[in-house]
Amino acid sequence: MAQPKPSTKARLATAALELFIEQGIPATTTKAIAERAEVNEVTLFRHFGNKNGLLLAILADFAPSLEASPAPLAETLETYGRHALREIDRLQNLIHSLIGEANQSPAETRQALRESLQQINQQLAAGLTEAIAPTRATSPPKP
């Protein structure tokens, strides 16, 4: 049986990620992304607003989550760390592009990236708090 075709949003995100890695973010156009995803450029705008919105959606999708787990805290953190390192390794060209071309990006893109990173940090802090909570409940009180 044939695999179902990925959703339009998924195709756009995949196409954008490939192009961002291949040619950098500033050089990637919404037209090129739409062509690679085999959709009309208007479809990209309908789903993501603009290239910046698409970039932020891609970054949000790759932020590893730290969910509460019945596993010991050390194991949960190790699993999270392994996942984060795999994603960093997989996306290293995109990361280099983001850093190396940051001064070429419009101010609104830089601000959106800052906000996205702040959101990721807040999610990580919330996840750590949730993961640590069960160990606090079972640990003996400090003298």
CATH code where residue 19 lies: 1.10.357.10
Q: What is the pLDDT of residues 80-120, one digit of tens each?
A: 788 878 877 877 777 777 777 767 777 777 777 787 778 77
Q: How far apart are CA 79 and CA 58, in angstroms?
A: 22
CA distance 53 to 20: 14
Determine the Cα–Cα distance for residues 31 and 71; give it in Å rounded to an integer: 46
The mean pLDDT value of the chain amounts to 80
Q: Is residue 142 part of a domain?
A: no
pLDDT for the residue 141: 56
User: Long-range contacts: 5-10, Cβ < 8 Å, 24+?
Assistant: 8/37, 8/39, 8/43, 8/47, 9/47, 9/48, 9/57
Q: Is the pLDDT of residue 142 over 60?
A: no
Q: Which residues, at least 6 apart from 60, have a Cβ–Cβ distance to it below 8 Å?
A: 116, 119, 120
The pLDDT value given to residue 110 = 75
Least confident of 36-45, 63-72, 115-124: 63-72
Residue 35 lies inside a defined structural domain of this protein: yes
Nearest Cα residue to 70 out of 79, 57, 61, 58? 79
Confidence bin at 45 (pLDDT 50/70/90): very high
pLDDT grade for 135, boundaries at 50, 70 and 90: low
Contact, 6 vs 14, CB < 8 A?
yes
- Does 23 reside within a domain? yes
37 within some domain: yes
Q: Which pLDDT band holds residue 64 (cuts at 50, 70, 90)?
A: low
Residue 62 lies inside a defined structural domain of this protein: yes
User: Based on the structure, what is the number of domains in the chain?
Assistant: 1
Cα 68 to its chain centre, rounded Å, is 20
Instruction: Determine the pLDDT at residue 66.
Output: 60
What is the DSSP secondary-structure string of 75-142? Answer: HHHHHHHHHHHHHHHHTHHHHHHHHHTGGGS-HHHHHHHHHHHHHHHHHHHHHHHHHHHHHHHHSPPP
Residue 136 included in any domain: no
pTM (2 decimals)?
Answer: 0.65
Residue 20 lies in a domain: yes
Tell me how far apart the alpha carbons of residues 9 and 35 are, in angstroms, rounded to a whole number. 13
Q: State what percent of residues in the chain have pLDDT above 90.
A: 26
pLDDT of residue 65: 61
Domain of residue 64, residue span: 8-131
